[in-house]
Amino acid sequence: MRKVDKPWGYELIWAETDRYVGKVLHIVAGAKLSRQYHNIKDETFLVQSGVMDLEIGTGSDMRVQRLEPMQSFHCAPKTVHRMIAITDVDVFEVSTPEIDDVVRLEDAYGREGTTKP
């Protein structure tokens, strides 16, 4: 297992193979991840504790889904999304292994651009 510090909290990568990755995202209250999408990466989130809003889509098609403990969301490739912590929140994320496949559209912490596997 490895811990990766992030400006919004941290992630614990507890499983990593050539077929899947398992993480716990810890997001501090009030923090938000970048508005992003993935070209290849397919992921599913499950809130373990706390509350978060998940922004899905863009512009007039954007919707916000509140996720509380034991609620999940499947995020298919190309789906624009952003997590916003209402309280401190711990989220299980299971995905395909392309962890560097991130296209950032907006970021509160000055990180820009695209990373690809």
User: Which CATH architecture best describes the domain 2-105?
Assistant: Sandwich (2.60)
Give the chain's mean pLDDT: 94
Above 60 in pLDDT, residue 117? no
Q: What is the mean pLDDT of residues 6-32?
A: 97
Q: What is the mean pLDDT of residues 34-46?
A: 97
pTM score:
0.91
Domain boundary assignment for the chain? 2-105
What is the model's pLDDT at position 51?
Answer: 98
Q: What is the pLDDT of residues 75-89, one digit of tens each?
A: 999 999 999 999 999
What is the model's pLDDT at position 110?
Answer: 84
Alpha-carbon distance values, 53 to 30, 37, 81, 93 (Å): 10, 16, 10, 15
